[in-house]
Structures are given as structure tokens and as C-alpha cells.
Structure 1
Amino acid sequence: MARAEAAPAPSSRAAAVRQRLMLTAEDTFAQVHDAAQRLRLERRMLDLLQGGMREVLVTSALVGPALVLWLTLPHIGVARALGPALALVLISLERVRFLRRMARERARRDDAPRRWARGLAWRVWLSGGVIALWCHFVIAIGTQELVSYLLALVTILAAGATAQFCSWPPVMWATISPLLLGMAVQLALSGAADHRVGAVFALFLWLVLGLAGLRFAQTLHNDMRTRLRNEDLLRELDRRRAQAEAAHMAKTRFFAAASHDLRQPLQALGLYLSVLEGRCDDVDTLARMDQCMGALDRLLAELLELSQLDAGQLECAPRPIALQPLLDRLASMYQAAARLKGLQLRVHPTAAWALSDPALLERALANLLANAIRYTSAGGVLLGVRAAGGADWRVCVFDTGIGIAQAEREAVFEEFVQLDNPERDPEQGSGLGLATVQRVAALLGHRTTLHSHVGRGSCFALQLPRAQPLADSQAGAPARAAITAPLHGRVLVVEDNAAARDALALLLRGWGLDVVTARDAAQAEEALAGPAPDAVLCDWRLPGPRDGLAVLREALRRHPALKLGALVTGENIETLRAQDAAFVLLRKPVRPLRLRALLASRLGHAAVGTP
């Protein structure tokens, strides 16, 4: 038969108790090996101790001395009762002074928590010694009833000290040891049998409270170490988040600031391509070059638009708008693309008015519509408006396309995500459309929703606040048409980029125009001093202190009969338009057809439409 496992020997239990009691001497903080972490832990524990000291000051300075006088004055005389009471008051006042000095110096430099804790330990030990002296007078002279009151009072003080000072065990021991051990020794030496029972009780209470305080201290220290680790993790998380945000903002600032430089070669390439169309017989190659040019133009425009949204460079100006003309305009823009794929593009009639920025809303809905047509191979696309409940409209784009699985619905709004284009075919888009929609909607304060069934289709929607119809509103946009008639007139081209300047000059001369070029504001002024130009095409960012707006204003001042002043830029059109509405704003890269239509209309030649 196997021998039963022996119970732990009494000596092992005693060793455990001794080890627990010696925890104070070994210092619980020594369990933290890292010096910096140990210092942080000591500071936090000293903060708790400092708070506990403030809470017991009222008891030490007022309640304690009052109880001393009330309980002992009739029994031990004025001198023996008043002496300890005054001593407690003086010690409490000195402790107040010490706590104030500690707070001031810790605010300047908090690198010695143990020194302050030792100072507090000496002061509470001194208070306990005064109370022990008072106990000696009471036990020697007082009645058994008074001794019982005294024992109860000491028990309350010791229990309170354990709760308040357990964050720093040496201070806790310095408080309860004079109270309980002093009481136990004096009761044991008094010789009375009843007092011996009280001595045993006081000794047992000292042991129990001490062990409980150490256990609480260990729990506090563990919790505080966990809190410090969490704070470190949060700081690291904040640091990494700040780095990510800084990198993100650097990217957006780069794209926003570099938009001018990125569009310059694209502008020149487009202009040279337009020149080649009248000189080259290889129509297929030119068509493919034009397709590549268009794809590059769209990708750059989407990237820059996304960067402007992220950088907060676009401003919205909500106003009441009729939704039906907007939907009709979008349908007319994409009808050819839908018909090319054999799709039916329909608009559900509506009389709804909503509050939004017309340009930004049209941009977002255009992206949704283009996306719906791109991913629909059969069936159709429907534009419509539904009541969203309350005071909102929901502008919906329905399609009968491939649908989107539940797990992929959040990912489709991220940059460069294309679920059905693993080969990254540029003809299927860049994957930035829905990301732009999400950011535009956030800028406008509109909610974006998506409902989809795989294999049946999807519904993307923007939720807009309702608006009251305006009395006189006009919708629609003028159509554009190609212009083939020769142009006549004098044009000043101000452009610092040589390639773009030469390409634009070559294109304009091919249209029959007399062209003068300048690279900066100084050369532009020299040109303006000569024959008056009919039109000035000026880049916004120029070398030197003056920009394109300054050049155009100077041209208008010198030649009030100027027929056209156009600012050509890749910057934020809305911001520039707000600066000066007297000039036409053209975003790079400018399409030659639009530029020719603009020149024809302003220089007085026949032209169908406006730019």
C-alpha cells in the first residue's frame, strides 16, 4: 500500500510565515529587476502612500488627541492625558510640513522615493510611540473597561493604517508595530490575567494585519506593474500611430505639393500627341498612345484628388440642389460606356432636393456609376432616389453585376482594391474610385451604404439631408463640340517648364495663332510691354516671388481689352477660383479639344459650346 502523502511540517509553515514577514526587509520593490521600471513603481506607490497620509491627517491631528483627552482625563490626570495629546498634535503638524515639502520637491525632481518613504516611516513610528506611552499610563492606572476601550481604539488605528499604508510595507509596519506590539508587551507585563488575554489578542492582530497588508501590497504592486506595462504599450502604440499618421500626411503633402511638377510632363506629352495627330499617318499607334495618355491622366487625377482629400485641401459648400438634373447629367455622361457593354442605364424620375456640394456630390456619384458599369457584364444600372426615413434622401446606384461578398465589403473602400482584377488591368480602373467616394462622403458628412448579393448585384448609396426647393433653378450643362475652324490672334504663354512651354506653343501655332512665350513674370512683363495679346495662358507656379495670378492681373491692367486670361495649374481649382473669379481656370493636363474650344469662343471665332 502506498504511503499517504505527509502533511506539510510545522517548520515549513513557520518558514513561510517568516518569509512573508521578511518581505518588508527584503523590499517588495526588489522583485522588479529593471531599475527604471522599479523607480516608476516606487513613484506610483509613494503617490498612493502620500494620498493615504493626507487622509489620516485629520484623524491624527484632531480626532486622536480629542479621544485621548476624553477617555483618559478623568482617570490619569491632566498632565498624563494632555502631554500625549499635545505631542500628537505637534507630530501631525510636522507631518503636514513634511508632506508639503515632499510635494514641492517631487514636483521638481522625483528620483528618491525611498528617502521620502523613510521620512514618513519615522514620523508614523513616532506617532505610534506616543500612543504607546499613553497606553502605558492607561494600563497602569485605568480600569478594565478603559483598557478595553483603549484596545478597541488601537485596533481601529492599526486596521486603518494597514489599509492606507500597505502600498509601502515598511511604513505600514512602522505604524502598526508600536501600536499593537507596544500594547501587547504592556498588557503582558501588567500581571493581570485579563490583560494577558488582551496581549495575545494584540499580538495575533499584529500578525494578521501585517500578513494581510503584505498580501494587499503584493496585489497593488502587481496591478501597478500591469498598469505601467499597459501605459508603455499605449505610449508605443501612440508613437507608432503618430509615425503612421506622419508618414500618411507626408505622402498626402507630397502628392498635393508635387501635383504641379507631376502634371508638367503629362501636359507636354498630351500637347505633343495632339500635334502628332495632324502629322502622323500611323493612326493605330496614335490611338494607343492616346489611350495610354488617358489612363495615365486618370490615374494621376485620382491619386492627386485622393491626396487632396486626405490633406484637407478640398472645401465643401453645401447648398440646396435638385437631384434630377444631376442624375440626368451623370446618365448622359456614362450612357455611351453602358451601351458599349450592352447595358441599360436608366434614371428613375425624382423631384427630390438635397443639401450638398454639387461638384463633390457629382464626383462621388460619378465614381459609383463608373464602378457599377465596370463590374456589370449583363443587365443594367439604375440611378434613383429613395426616402431614407426622417429628413434624408438616399441616392442609390443599383447594378446587376457580380456582387460583393460580406467579408469583402469593407475592403472595397480601400485604395487599390479590385476584387475582380487580379491582373491589374488598367482598362478596369485603378482601384481608387470607392476610396475617393468614401473620403468625399466623409467630407460632405454623408453616410455611405452598401447592400449586395453575390451573383445578383449591388446597391451603393449616399444618404443626403433633404432641402427645400429653390424658386428659380437651372440645371444642365452646355455641350461641347469639336472645333475645326482656324484660329487667329496673339497668345502669350507663360510657363516655366520648357517642355510644356514648347509643346503648347507648337500646338497653338499649328492652330494658326501668333504665340509669344515667357518663362517667368519678368519675361511676361517684357512681352506685355509690346503688342497687346488677345489671350494669356499662364501657369500658376512661376519662378520668383510673383505667381500666375499676379501676371494675369498685370496683363488685365495693361490691356483692359484682353479677351482671355487663363490660369493653367494642377493645384486645387476650388481654392484658386475663390481667390480670383476674373480668370478661367484650367486643370493640367489640359485637353487640346477643350483649350481650342475656349480660345475659339473667346477670340471671336465660331465655336459650339463652352469649355
Structure 2
Amino acid sequence: MDAIQQLALASGIAIGGLSGAVVSAILQRRAQAREARRLAGLLASGSSPSADAAHPLSPLLAAISQRMTALHGAHDEHDAQRRQLSADMVRLMHQTDGAMRAKDRFLAAISHDLRQPLQSMDLALERLRREALPAQAGDVGQLQAGMRTLTDVLDSLLLLSQLDAGALRAQAAPCELQDLFAEVLAAQAEAAQRAGVALLAHAGRQAVYTDPGMLAGLLGRLIDNAIKASPRGGRVLLAARRHGGEIRIEVRDGGVGIAPIHQPRVFDEFFQVGNPERDHRKGFGLGLPIVSRLAALLGTRVELRSRLHAGSCFWLPLPRASVLQRPPRAVLLDADAAQRDALAAMLGSWGYAVHAEAAVDAACARIGGGVGAVDAVLCAIDADDDPAWALIRAAASRQAQAARIVLCSAPGPALLELAARHGAQALSRPPAPSKLRSLLAQRPLQALRGAA
């Protein structure tokens, strides 16, 4: 065999060997791929590859399988814990809601059961004050002060409950601040006089778009807070300033001020600065929490600027409105000409357009649209079956925004119960000017309470 033939034979043998090796490698890779797919299927199905213990990958695959089993178990345990936590949170929310509803029912029951006896006692004390001998005047005054404190706490707790329950809704309208400021300061005049604090107001011809009753209640509590913080001989200023498209309403005092560390907590319930002895004459820590909630209902916020020994300024922004053109309107029903004329004159001095009537039908005609929107309805009633109740019922159905005030010479429990059912407030006749003006300043808020 010559050299060429030998070379060809060697090349053929080499090519054949190489081809065989390639084919063998391909077949081996395919077998390994099939085996890998089979083992992967076992792992995916959760089966153990222990039956293939002779396979070189079996120890590794067994370890992977064990780890996956452990991970599945941990995942299932985590899911169970998450479901349990969710169930606990839902149960806690239901318990909290139930507790809040129970609190609201409790406060509503207290209001219903205590408000009428307290009102009867207040009217009786007012009669005692008028008839008391000089030696008894001090004792009667202390009783009246205690009655005011108890009534204020009850009213504050009830109002907080209503605000938290969402039972009150703001009814925005243009509101001229000059008249509203006068009403707010008049309602606080007696407290300021007792404390020796001067009340000042500066409103100009500014008007805002808001709920007048809620704003009056908010400002009244800020003024009350400022009076308590001021020294005897101090001053409290209620002012309105234009600030762009808004009106900024401010309540300033020259009192002790509030330290920076306490300022974030002044709107917390029952929190008080400088009253560790819990002296009720300094309040109960409910005024500013109510202020904060009322501001939220009005779509605004209350801000605070204060320095120790330099006084405090609480302020809130409200949208500007055009100045109102009409005075507030009152319908007065009283068959006694002397008392009717005296009360009409007093209301007129406060800026009211008064429509005074002696007959029930004439007064009801006024309510029915003869004078337009009415802000207050005052009615002299001395019996449960007095025909004048028709005016109160007409006001409740046709002028729900108006304050409804029943004037009684000698109210009994049944009459007070009837007034409450009609959403009316009862005052002694003739009414004390400060009490009457305080009710008129809160007229829309009273209407909302009656509807709640």
C-alpha cells in the first residue's frame, strides 16, 4: 500500500472516530437533558428523588427538594399568620366602632336625661336671683356659676360626640363679620367682665363664605380660651384681615403664652397648659379640640403663634365673600304688648329686622314666606296646649335654619320636653339679654343639633 492509500485510510479512521465521538456526545447530552427534565418534574410535583440515589446528582437534588419543602412550609405558615393578623385587625375595628357607637349613645342619653332638669334648675335659679335678698345673692351666684360649668361640660361632650360621629354638616353662606363679631363678643361679655378682661373687635366691612353658626361657636371658644389665659386688666382682640383672596380671622391675647413643647398638643382632648390642679374655672381642655373639629368641617384649619410671656394668636383663613345687604330677620310672637315691644326694641338694637305679632295666624304667615328667610323665631308660651306652638311647628318645617326660642314665665318639665321635641330652646320670660344673644349667635348650629 502506497503512502497515499495509508493516508486516506488513516483519515477515514480519524473521521469515523470523531464522528462517533460527536454522535456519542450528542446522545449523552440528550440523555442528560431528559434526566434533568425528569428530575425537574419530580421537584415540581413535590416528589422526592430518593429513588435515584445512585444518580450522581441525587444528593444535590435531595437537598434542593428539602429546601423547597421547607420554603413551602414557611410560606404556608406566613400566609396563615397574615390571615390571622387580618382577622384580628377586622375584629379590633369592629370592637372600636362598637365602642364609639356605645359612647355616642351614652352621651346622647345623658344629653336627653340631664339637659331638661338642668334647664329647669337654671330657670329656677334665675327667678331666685331676681327675688333673692342681698344676703342670699352670693349663694345664688355660686349656684348659677356651678350650673353654667355643668351645662358647658355637658354641651361640649355632646358636641364632640356629634362631630366625631359626623352628625353635623356645614351650611355655607355669605356672612358679614361685623355683626357676627358683635354677637360673639356679646355672648362672652359676662365672662370677660368677671375676669376683668376687655374685649375688642375689628372687622371692617369684611364678609366670608362659611357656616355662620359653626364659625360663631368656633370663635366663641377661642375667645373663652383667650379670656382664661389673660391676666386681669388684659385685652383680647378679635380681628379680620384681608390676605389675598382670603380673610384671616385672628384671636389675640396678651396672656402667659404657650411653650413650643406644648403647642403640638393644645388641640388634644383634655390637655391643658398651666392647670395641674384641674381647676374647673380654667376649663376642662375641651374647647380647642372642638375648635379644631369645627374648623375641619368648615374646610379650613386653625393655626397658632405663641411665645412664653408674650401672648398667643390663633387664626384661621376663610374664603372672602361679598358684603351682605340684608340684616338678620326675627319673627316675634307675644300677646303681651309691653313685653313684645321691649323685646322687639332689644332685638332691633342688635341689628335685627323684627316682625312682631300678637296673633298666631299673623306670625305663621310671616314664617310662611311673607318676609323671606328668617334667622330667629321667638314665641311666648306658658302651657303645653298653647296655640302658639303652631308657630314653632311652622318654623321647624318651613324655616329650619332659624333659631327657635320659647319664652316661658314658669316652665314645667312637660313644657321643656315639648320644646326639646320641636328643636327649640327655652328661656325665662323676659329673657336675660346675654343668654338670648348667645343663643342667637349659635342659631345655625342649634338648627343642626335639632335635626341630628
Q: TM-score, normalised by structure 2?
A: 0.64
Pairwise mapping of residues 462-473 of structure 1 onto structure 2 (< 5 A)? 462-464=316-318, 466-469=319-322, 472-473=325-326
Deviation at 1:218, TM superposition (A): 2.8
CA distance in 2, matches of 1:334, 1:304: 21
CA distance in 1, matches of 2:100, 2:402: 33
Question: Secondary structure of the equivalent of 2:313?
Answer: strand
Residue 417 (str. 1) matches residue 271 (str. 2):
yes
**Of residues 29, 36, 57 in structure 2, which corresponds to 1:155?**
36
Pairwise mapping of residues 95-134 of structure 1 onto structure 2 (< 5 A)? none
Letter in 1 for 2:428: P
CA distance in 2, matches of 1:346, 1:337: 14
Deviation at 1:373, TM superposition (A): 1.5
Corresponding residue for 2:188? 334
Do the aligned partners of residues 304 and 160 (structure 1) sit closer, same or farther apart at CA in structure 2, a change above 3 Å counting? same
Residue 372 (str. 1) matches residue 226 (str. 2):
yes
Alignment check: 8 A CA contact 2:175 2:324 kept: no
Corresponding residue for 2:353? none
Alignment check: 8 A CA contact 2:207 2:320 kept: yes
Deviations 1:169-195 (A, max 9, x none): xx4234x567xx3xx86xxxxxxxxxx
Alignment check: 8 A CA contact 1:253 1:311 kept: no
Do the aligned partners of residues 384 and 216 (structure 1) sit closer, same or farther apart at CA in structure 2, a change above 3 Å counting? farther
Alignment check: 8 A CA contact 1:537 1:565 kept: no
Structure 2 unaligned blocks of 5 or more? 1-22, 341-378, 407-418, 434-452
Deviations 1:566-585 (A, max 9, x none): 47xxxxxx988866979756
Deviation at 1:416, TM superposition (A): 2.7
Identity %: 32
Alignment check: 8 A CA contact 1:173 1:210 kept: no
Residue 215 (str. 1) matches residue 67 (str. 2):
yes
Q: How many residues align?
A: 350
Q: TM-score, normalised by structure 1?
A: 0.49
Alignment check: 8 A CA contact 2:203 2:241 kept: no
CA distance in 2, matches of 1:329, 1:154: 93
Corresponding residue for 1:260? 112
Give the RMSD, CA atoms, in angstroms.
4.1
CA distance in 1, matches of 2:119, 2:241: 42
Corresponding residue for 1:395? 249
Deviation at 1:263, TM superposition (A): 1.5
Alignment check: 8 A CA contact 1:326 1:475 kept: no
Letter in 1 for 2:238: L
Residue 173 (str. 1) matches residue 25 (str. 2):
no
**Of residues 351, 373, 384 in structure 1, which corresponds to 2:239?**
384
CA distance in 1, matches of 2:175, 2:130: 43
Corresponding residue for 2:27? 146
Deviation at 1:298, TM superposition (A): 1.9
Corresponding residue for 1:293? 147
Deviation at 1:469, TM superposition (A): 1.0
CA distance in 2, matches of 1:145, 1:268: 106
Alignment check: 8 A CA contact 2:247 2:320 kept: no
Alignment check: 8 A CA contact 2:405 2:425 kept: no
Pairwise mapping of residues 7-18 of structure 1 onto structure 2 (< 5 A)? none
Letter in 2 for 1:145: I
Do the aligned partners of residues 237 and 485 (structure 1) sit closer, same or farther apart at CA in structure 2, a change above 3 Å counting? same
Alignment check: 8 A CA contact 1:385 1:395 kept: yes
Deviations 1:378-437 (A, max 9, x none): 653332345667x54432222232233344334332333322222222222232211211
Deviation at 1:358, TM superposition (A): 0.6
CA distance in 2, matches of 1:305, 1:576: 24
Do the aligned partners of residues 240 and 401 (structure 1) sit closer, same or farther apart at CA in structure 2, a change above 3 Å counting? farther
Deviations 1:305-359 (A, max 9, x none): 2222233332321122233432343334435644654545433445543321110
CA distance in 1, matches of 2:108, 2:157: 9
Question: Secondary structure of the equivalent of 1:591?
Answer: strand
**Of residues 424, 428, 451 in structure 2, which corresponds to 1:592?**
428
Corresponding residue for 1:325? 179
CA distance in 1, matches of 2:405, 2:140: 30
Do the aligned partners of residues 396 and 319 (structure 1) sit closer, same or farther apart at CA in structure 2, a change above 3 Å counting? same
Deviation at 1:363, TM superposition (A): 0.4
Question: Secondary structure of the equivalent of 2:213?
Answer: helix
Deviations 1:27-80 (A, max 9, x none): xxxxxxxxxxxxxxxxxxxxxxxxxxxxxxxxxxxxxxxxxxxxxxxxxxxxxx
Question: Secondary structure of the equivalent of 1:261?
Answer: helix
Deviations 1:269-294 (A, max 9, x none): 22332343455422222222222222
Question: Secondary structure of the equivalent of 1:207?
Answer: helix
CA distance in 1, matches of 2:80, 2:396: 48
CA distance in 2, matches of 1:235, 1:263: 41
Pairwise mapping of residues 340-489 of structure 1 onto structure 2 (< 5 A)? 341-377=195-231, 379-386=234-241, 392-464=246-318, 466-469=319-322, 472-474=325-327
User: Greater CA radius of gyration, 1 or 2?
Assistant: 1
Alignment check: 8 A CA contact 1:318 1:358 kept: yes
Deviation at 1:151, TM superposition (A): 1.9
Structure 1 unaligned blocks of 5 or more? 1-141, 166-170, 186-198, 488-533, 540-550, 556-561, 568-573, 598-611
Do the aligned partners of residues 535 and 565 (structure 1) sit closer, same or farther apart at CA in structure 2, a change above 3 Å counting? farther
CA distance in 2, matches of 1:231, 1:214: 26
Deviation at 1:148, TM superposition (A): 0.6
CA distance in 2, matches of 1:575, 1:211: 81
Letter in 2 for 1:272: A
Comparing 266-275 with 215-224, greater Cα deviation is found at: 215-224
CA distance in 1, matches of 2:282, 2:289: 15
Deviation at 1:368, TM superposition (A): 1.0
CA distance in 2, matches of 1:393, 1:266: 39
Question: Secondary structure of the equivalent of 2:152?
Answer: helix
Alignment check: 8 A CA contact 2:174 2:209 kept: yes
Question: Secondary structure of the equivalent of 1:327?
Answer: helix
CA distance in 2, matches of 1:582, 1:347: 25
Deviation at 1:302, TM superposition (A): 1.9
CA distance in 2, matches of 1:235, 1:407: 39
Do the aligned partners of residues 245 and 374 (structure 1) sit closer, same or farther apart at CA in structure 2, a change above 3 Å counting? same
CA distance in 1, matches of 2:199, 2:24: 105
Alignment check: 8 A CA contact 2:222 2:251 kept: yes
CA distance in 2, matches of 1:334, 1:476: 22
CA distance in 1, matches of 2:242, 2:61: 69
Corresponding residue for 1:276? 128
Deviations 1:478-529 (A, max 9, x none): 9xxxx99789xxxxxxxxxxxxxxxxxxxxxxxxxxxxxxxxxxxxxxxxxx
Deviation at 1:370, TM superposition (A): 0.9
CA distance in 2, matches of 1:593, 1:311: 35
